Chains A and B, each alone.
Chain A
Amino acid sequence: MTLRATTWQTVGPFFSIGFSWLYRDNLAAPGVSGERLEIAGRILDGEGNPVPDGIVEIWQANSQGKYAHAHDPQAKPVEEGFTGYGRVPTDDTGCFRFTTIKPGRVSGPDEKLQAPHLAVSVFTRGLLRRLITRIYFPEEPSNAEDFALNLVEEGRRETLVAKKIAGRPGVLEWNVILQGPGETVFFDV
């Protein structure tokens, strides 16, 4: 029998009481291999106002491009202590930040590898469903051949690529513009 998935409802404004026990702002424990990065940004609404009641969830592969999950068939090693899951809230100014490692490339369609990326869910009051997006990395040559980036019109791809910050090595900026000019690309998954 085929059932239909339960309908989504907004997280509302008070989700932190339910979500805070599982906040994970450091995905890479000491000793986890890979290039360590801090990713910081803001969630902004259609008027450019910060969203203080938002949450970002991250799902990513390890530095070898392997997911810590039974359904990843790639012959690559999982890494002890690396789950690939992160969850961070925004603060009063709409800012979030987390520390992780740059993931390796995972397999994609047509046997081609995808560019390194983080799968991201955004939840806020006012969103009836989560928004799904991806974070890609700057100065990454494989971005040019990534199948998901190539699904996006060229002028909007940059919303998916984190930016280097002058004078702050190891820190990348990536913002979520929910609506309007510079609107982040969101995916239907």
Chain B
Amino acid sequence: MNKIPGYRRVCPGTQPPHRHPPYVSSLKRAPREPLVALPHTLSEITGPAFGPDIADPKACDLTRQHSGEPLGERIIVSGRVLDENSRPVPHTLIEIWQANAAGRYLHSSDRHNAPLDPNFTGCGHTLTDSEGRYRFVTIRPGEYPWGNHHNAWRPAHIHFSLFGPAFATRLVTQMYFQGDPLIPYDPIFNCTEDEEARNRLISQFDWETTIPSLALGHRFDIVLSGREGTPMETRMHGEKP
């Protein structure tokens, strides 16, 4: 019982701190007390498992959710979901949401003076295949202003939410676009200290998934926390492996 490896802990610098003053909303919401380190138990190494029935097959194409075509540049966003041990993460749920081509979300709190698109809702989901691959068809989201500081603009981005195999592997992140001039100025993109980790949030233009006369491809590979080799029980006793 419990001779099961836990998941790898965060590699220092590669994940954002909770408090990041340039992102003003973090100031009143980030905890002040230090987090309590919790060794992984059955509760953390298990997690919600969604079967194939959960996904609506149409939900991976955000350009075909309405009677007409959405405005904007059609794009293919695809990639692989791997764990830190380079193993594919098969049949895991991915959810995405985004602004429309004009930089407006279909959300009552979005007050940006840009038009809604009756043919674009801006959300989708899919399951990775047996090799951890996923693919969405959508439109390139617009940049938009926000109230964080004077003349603040979010770079174009798509929100991603993944579950992975365990409670411990949950990930919510944002995908950016290669060459976006706003990226260096974005306090959310820049919240992570490690430059290499930050830059992996930028998708890469991809000829292989580009469809002639239809849509440019952007590749975004995602890595979820992977299992440790050390049994949980050993770590819980604080012994060296």
Contact = CB atoms under 8 A, between A and B. Distances in A.
A5 B225 contact: yes
B137 interface: no
Contacts of B170: 57, 121, 130
B31 A183 contact: yes
Given A73-B1, A109-B236, A123-B172, A18 B42 contact: no
Contact of A9 (B42, B47, B188): B188
Contacts of A72: 42, 46
B40 A189 contact: yes
A68 interface: yes
Interface in A60-101: 61, 67-74, 83-85
A124 B29 contact: yes
Contact of B11 (A5, A71, A125, A152): A5
Interface stretch (A28-36, A45-53, A137-145, A166-174): A45-53
A117 B149 CA distance: 41
A144 B168 CA distance: 25
10 contacts: A2-B226, A8-B16, A9-B16, A13-B109, A18-B159, A114-B42, A119-B44, A121-B167, A123-B172, A128-B17
Given A70-B49, A84-B48, A5 B10 contact: yes
A125 B28 CA distance: 11
Contact of B41 (A2, A9, A106, A178): A106
B124 to A, nearest CB: 8
B130 interface: no
A185 B159 CA distance: 27
Interface in B50-97: 54, 59, 82-86, 95-97
B106 interface: yes
B35 A126 contact: no
B146 to A, nearest CB: 9
Interface of B: 1-2, 4, 8-11, 14-18, 20, 23, 25-33, 35-49, 54, 59, 82-86, 95-97, 99, 105-107, 109-110, 121-123, 125, 159, 161, 165-168, 170-174, 188-189, 191-192, 194, 197-198, 200-201, 222-226, 232-233, 236
B200 to A, nearest CB: 6
B188 A67 contact: no
B197 A14 contact: no
A68 B29 contact: no
A128 B106 contact: no
Contacts of B201: 6-7, 9
Contacts of B41: 106-109, 114, 147-148
A186 interface: yes
A53 B188 contact: no
Given A3-B82, A3-B84, A71-B45, A130 B10 contact: no
A21 B43 contact: no
A152 B158 CA distance: 37
Nearest to A123: B172
A93 to B, nearest CB: 15
A22 interface: yes
B95 A131 contact: no
B16 A129 contact: yes
Given A6-B200, A74-B42, A45 B1 contact: no
